[in-house]
Amino acid sequence: MAPERQLVTRLLQEWGAGSKEALDQLMPLVYDQLRSLAARCLASERPDHSLRATDLVNEAYLRLVHSEPDFHNRVHFFAVAARLLRHILVDHARAHGRLKRGAGAERITLDEALMVGPGTGGIVELNDALERLAAQDQRKSEVVELLFFGGLTYEETAAALHISPATVDRELRLAKAWLHRELSSH
């Protein structure tokens, strides 16, 4: 494991044990990757989206700081952060959707949806479909979330879920087929 990755894992464990100093040292180390995850989540959103990557990171940071830190390692931390970013985007889209009620919502392809589709409906539709998938097969839903929202590699996803990279690939292909059917029928 690279020294920086080891340091992140150690600081996460110290933060979990109650060290505020560990949190202060941790954030500069993970900020760039969190911002990269946030930018990835926003990449397919409409250009005039009111949230920016920095806004997403700041909101995720606030939620993380006010949570009970129980992170096993760096991969687990980024998996949780990816889930938070997704939920922040969904909450934001739903809040705006209440105002617009889907006016002008576009149909989106599966790959667009998996990369956080354009418009306010894309992320909400994807989130709802992922929740339905999770009810049937939690692991497939987690694979999609970690790869596409978390920006993790196949190897990191495999480590986070305690499965092989080949299983990650197989689960992703099955999840994409299921999501395609779900998103096409709604």
Q: Considering only 28-32, 118-122, 136-140, 177-181, which range has the smallest mean pLDDT?
A: 118-122
pTM above the 0.75 mark?
A: no
**What is the rounded CA–CA span in Å between residue 31 and residue 95?**
27
Alpha helices by DSSP H, listed for the chain, are 3-16, 20-42, 53-65, 74-100, 110-114, 119-136, 138-144, 154-161, 165-185
Q: Over the stretch 87-142, which tens digit does the pLDDT of each residue have?
A: 888 888 777 764 444 444 444 444 555 443 334 347 778 888 888 999 999 999 98
What per-residue confidence (pLDDT) applies to 139?
94
Cα–Cα nearest to 176, from 127, 146, 133: 133
**What is the rounded CA–CA span in Å between residue 131 and residue 127?**
6
Listed by start position, the domains of the chain span 3-185
What per-residue confidence (pLDDT) applies to 109?
43
Q: Considering only 51-60, 111-120, 144-153, 159-168, which range has the smallest mean pLDDT?
A: 111-120
Q: Over the stretch 59-88, which tens digit does the pLDDT of each residue have?
A: 888 888 888 888 888 888 888 888 888 888
Residue 156: pLDDT over 70: yes
Q: Considering only 15-24, 30-39, 65-74, 89-98, which range has the smallest mean pLDDT?
A: 89-98
DSSP state for residue 89 in the 8-state scheme: H
Cβ contact 127:86 at 8 Å:
yes
Maximum distance among all alpha carbons in the chain? Answer: 50
The values of phi and psi at residue 56, to 5°, are: -65, -45
Q: Over the stretch 45-56, which tens digit does the pLDDT of each residue have?
A: 666 667 888 888
